[in-house]
Structure 1
Amino acid sequence: MRIVPPHAPEPQDSVDWFDPQPASTASLPDPEPLVSNLALCVIEAMAGVRDIEQLARWVSADVYRALLVRVQHAARARTARRQSAKRPNVHVQLTTLQSPTDGVIEAVVVMDVGPRVRAIAMRLDGMDRRWRATSLNVL
C-alpha cells in the first residue's frame, strides 16, 4: 500500500479563489433600481453635490478613475465660471435594460437634467453576488 499525499493547492488556485467571482443573473437582485440610482448619483457627482467615493462600491476601478477625472473637470469648469455646486433637477425619461449573456446587464438611462437631456450607458456584471458597473459613459 502506498500513501498518496493530498493535492496541495497551487498558488494560482488560492489567488483565483480570492478574485471577484462571477454570478449568474438568477442569483443577483433586480438591476433596475441600481441602474436608475447609479445614473442619478453620477449626474449628482458631476454637478458637485455628491461625493464620488459614494459610488466606489458599485463601479469597477476603471470606471471609478474615469468618473473621477470627469468630476474633477466639471469642478474646474464651475470654478472658472464662478458657479457654486447646485443640486440638479433630474427626471428619468427612459430606462432600458437588456441581458446579452447570463450575469451581464447592459442599460441606458435617459435623464432630463434641467436644460439638457443626458443619456448614461452602462454595463453591469454580476460579481460576488452583486451588480458592479464595469463600463459607464455619460453622453
Structure 2
Amino acid sequence: MTRPFEDSGTQNSSAAPSRPPAQATPSRPAAQSRPAAQSRPPAPSHPAVQGYRAAQGYPAAAGSAAALRSERPAPFSLRPDPEPLLINLARGYLETMAGAREPEQLARWLSDGAYRRLLKRVVLASRARAVTKRAAVMPTIIVDRVIVTEPNEGVIEAVVILHSRVRTRAVAVRLEGRGDRWRASAINVM
C-alpha cells in the first residue's frame, strides 16, 4: 500500500553503487535511465529540513506548512463550499480512530496542532484495540446532518452528526481559511 505523502524515492546516480550495465536479452530490453536534466531532487518534506531551510533564509516551498500559515485569509466567497470537506474530515477521522485509515491521509487538511492530537489519539486507540484483541475494521458510517456557522470572517465552526452500527457521534470541526482553501485547526469527537 502506498502512502499519499511518501516521495517516490528518485535516486541519484552518483550515490548508487557501481554495477556493470545490464545485458539486453531478447525477452527484455536494457533499462533506460532518465537524462539528468529531467530528474529533480526530492522535496525537503521533513520538519527538520524545513526548519533549517527557514533559518538559512530560503523561501518556503509553495505547499509547505510555513507557506500556508503565512497566507492571508481570502474572503469566504472565494473558497470552496466547506460542507464536503467537513463530511470527509469527520468520516476520515472516525475511520482513522478505528484503524482502517492512515493518519497521513488527513494531514493535508489539518493544522500542525490538530495533526499531532490525531496522532496521539490514534496511538491510544491502537493500544486499546491490542489489549482487547480487536481487529481494525472499516466502520460503516452514515452522515445524518451538518450544522455550519461562521463566527468570524474566514472561520467555520461545524458539527457533523454521524451514525454507525454501534453509536451516534457528533464531530465538532473548526475550519480556518488559508489562501483559497480550508484547514481544520480543531476536531473533537463526542
TM-score range, shorter chain: 0.7 to 0.9
Partner of 1:124: 175
Partner of 2:189: 138
Q: Among residues 104, 112, 119, which one is paired with 2:163 in the alignment?
A: 112
1:74-123 CA distance string (max 9 Å, x none): 11111111111011011111211111122111100011122111110011
Distance 2:71 2:94 in 1: 27
How many residue pairs end up in the alignment? 125
Partner of 1:5: none
- State how 1:67-106 maps to structure 2 within 5 Å: 67-106=118-157
Distance 1:69 1:49 in 2: 16
Partner of 1:38: 89
Structure with more of its chain in helix, by fraction: 1
Distance 1:20 1:76 in 2: 38
What is the root-mean-square deviation of aligned Cα atoms in Å? Answer: 1.7
* Superposition deviation, residue 21 in structure 1: 2.4
Q: Please, which moves more after superposition, 109-118 or 43-52?
A: 109-118
Higher-RCO chain (CA-CA 8 Å, sequence separation at least 6): 1
* Superposition deviation, residue 47 in structure 1: 0.5
Tell me the TM-score normalized by structure 1: 0.85
Distance 2:120 2:130 in 1: 15
Structure with more of its chain in strand, by fraction: 1
Amino acid at match of 1:117: T
Provide the secondary structure at the position in 2 that maps to 1:135: strand
How high is the sequence identity, in percent, across the aligned residues?
Answer: 46
Structure with higher Rg: it is 2
Amino acid at match of 2:106: L
1:30-79 CA distance string (max 9 Å, x none): 00000001000000000001000011100100000111111111111111
Gaps of 5+ in 1: 1-13
Distance 1:43 1:37 in 2: 10
Partner of 1:59: 110
Partner of 1:29: 80
